Amino acid sequence: MSRGTQAVVLVFLGGAILRASVTDLYLRYVKQGLRPFLIAAGVVLVVAAVVALVQELRYLNRPEAEPDDDGHGHGRSGPMVGWLLLLPAIALLFVVPPALGADTASRAGSALTDNRDVAYPPLPPGDPADLTLLDYGYRAVYDKGRTLSGRRIKLTGFLATGPDGQPMLVRIVLSCCAADGVPIKIGLRGDVPGVPDNTWMRAIGRWIPHTAKDPVNDADVPYFQVEDWQKITAPVEPYE
C-alpha cells in the first residue's frame, strides 16, 4: 500500500466518523455528550490524510523523485495490512447496527449494584411523573419507594423476557460507549402487554413494594404496576 493510498484510506475513515457524528448514528455507539470529541477526531483524521496526500503528490511530481523501492526492500509503501482500516470505515458508512436490546438484557446483570444512600428529592411535578428507568430503580430499591408512593409514574423502555418468563421493561445504561452498556431492569405486573421482545413502549402505572433478584448478578430488580401502556417507535437516543 503506497503512502498516497494510505492517505485515501484515512480520509475514508475520518469521513465515516464525521458522517456518524453529524447524524444520529453515533448514538448507537456512544453517549450524546461525546459528539464534539468524535467530530474533532474525524476532522483531525481528514486533515492529516489530506496533508499526507498533498505531500505525496508533491514528492511524486518532483523530477528527481526516487523510485518507490531503493533496491533493499525499503520502499515508501506501507504494509498491506493497512487496507484493514477500510473495514471500520465501510461499516460506519453502510452498516447501521441495531442498538443493544433484549439479548443484552438476558446476558448481563442489572445496573442496580451500588447502594446509593442519598436523600432523594420529590418527584417532578405533573401527572404522571416522567422518570428514567434508572431513577425509578434507585428510588424503588434504595429509597424503599418513599418518593414514589401515591404517584402515577411514566416509564419508557423496551420489553425483554425475564428469567421467570414474564416481561420486563429495560433500558441500557452507558458509562461511555456501547461496549460498557448494562441493563436496568424493571419487572412488570398488571396490564402487561403481550408483544415481542425489543418492542418499545411507554408505560404508566405505580410503584409496588416488590423486588426480585437478578440471577445474573444477584442485583435487585424492582417492580412496576402497569395501568396503561402505549407502543412507541424506538427513540433516537436509545440509551440512558
C-alpha cell of 183? 441493563
**Please, are residues 31 and 174 in contact by the beta-carbon 8 Å criterion?**
yes
Note the pLDDT of residue 92.
66
**Please, are residues 157 and 186 in contact by the beta-carbon 8 Å criterion?**
yes
Q: 114: which residues sit within 8 A by CB, 6+ positions away?
A: none
Note the pLDDT of residue 213.
93
Note the pLDDT of residue 189.
94
Note the pLDDT of residue 23.
82
Note the pLDDT of residue 93.
66
Q: Is the pTM of this model over 0.85?
A: no
Residue type, 206: R
Of the candidates 15, 36, 5, 3, the residue with the CA atom closest to the CA atom of residue 90: 15
d(CA 97, CA 91): 9
The torsion angles phi and psi of 162, rounded to 5 degrees, stand at -80, 175
Note the pLDDT of residue 85.
64
d(CA 213, CA 109): 10
**Please, are residues 102 and 158 in contact by the beta-carbon 8 Å criterion?**
yes
Note the pLDDT of residue 219.
92
Domains annotated on the chain, with CATH: 3-94 (no CATH), 102-231 (2.40.50)
d(CA 60, CA 62): 6
Q: What is the pLDDT along the chain (240 residues), one digit of tens a residue?
A: 567 777 777 777 888 888 888 887 778 778 888 889 889 988 988 888 888 878 877 777 776 655 555 454 444 445 565 566 667 667 666 667 778 889 999 899 998 887 767 778 999 899 999 999 999 999 999 999 999 999 999 999 999 998 888 999 999 998 888 888 899 999 999 988 888 999 999 999 999 999 999 999 999 999 999 999 999 999 988 988
